[in-house]
Structure 1
Amino acid sequence: MYLGITPSVTCNNASRNEFSLILDKNPLVHLAADVTFLQDRLKGDSVTEIGITFLKKLDEKKYRRKK
């Protein structure tokens, strides 16, 4: 679970050492952001830390869902 969203997990390579997390809903709606891994337990760090830098808020009218 990430930001209140549970992703789907996919693995598409033959050696099964890579995977993707698919977010069906965007928890950062209307926000442009730069996202990077700062620390990762899989690389020996004590925690997994994801850094998010908000760049700008996008135009709400352009991205509003039609009902």
Structure 2
Amino acid sequence: MGYNIGVRLIEDFLARSNVGRCNDFRETADVISKLGFKMYLGITPVVSNWSPAGDEFSLLIENNPLTDFVELPPGHSQLNFSNLLCGVIKGALEMIQMDVDVKFVQDILKGDNITEIRLKFLRRLEDAIPVGED
């Protein structure tokens, strides 16, 4: 969910933010948290829990605006209500040639103290020319 939103949102983000190409995954994390979330949701998640290799980090969200006035119904405790955010991030980063794994680790709706989204850099995507076009 949200993947197609991210694919389209990245164009708007790049046009409005005037951000150049990020040099590494740490810089990408800062741009996502300080500009992307602030621009579209009005929040600034904390970037933390970096892996020793520097290829994985967490976004910690204290007040997720997507969960205001939401309660998970009985029998649906495994539902990731804000999973849309994971798809948006994945779709947007793929458009700038970054393949990432994005998943929820903690969710306030499930009784956790904070919402945590984990991002892991998998590989840099290569530009591909469609078959038959030179």
How high is the TM-score relative to the length of structure 1?
A: 0.54
Cα deviation, 1:15-42, whole Å, max 9, x if unaligned, reads: xxx677484x81x221111111000001
1:49 to 103, 116, 123: 116
Structure 2: how far apart are the matches of 1:49 and 1:19? 11
Structure 2: how far apart are the matches of 1:35 and 1:19? 12
Q: Structure 2 unaligned runs (5+)? A: 1-31, 42-65, 67-80, 130-134
Structure 2: how far apart are the matches of 1:20 and 1:37? 7
What SS does the corresponding residue of 1:62 show, helix, strand or coil? Answer: coil
1:30 to 72, 78, 97: 97
Instruction: State percent identity of aligned pairs.
Output: 37
Give the partner amino acid of 2:125.
L
- Correspondence 1:9-24 to 2 at 5 A: 21=84, 23=88
Q: Structure 1 unaligned runs (5+)? A: 10-17
RMSD (Å), alpha carbons: 3.1
Choose between structure 1 and 2 for higher RCO, CA contacts under 8 A separated by at least 6 residues.
Answer: 2
Q: How many residues align?
A: 49
Structure 1: how far apart are the matches of 2:106 and 2:82? 18
2:128 to 59, 62, 67: 62
Structure 2: how far apart are the matches of 1:35 and 1:44? 21
Structure (1 or 2) with the greater strand fraction: 1
How high is the TM-score relative to the length of structure 2?
A: 0.29
Could you say if the C-alpha distance between residues 34 and 40 of structure 1 is closer, same or farther in structure 2, counting changes exceeding 3 Å?
same
Consecutive aligned runs of 4 or more in structure 1 exceeding 2 Å deviation: 18-23
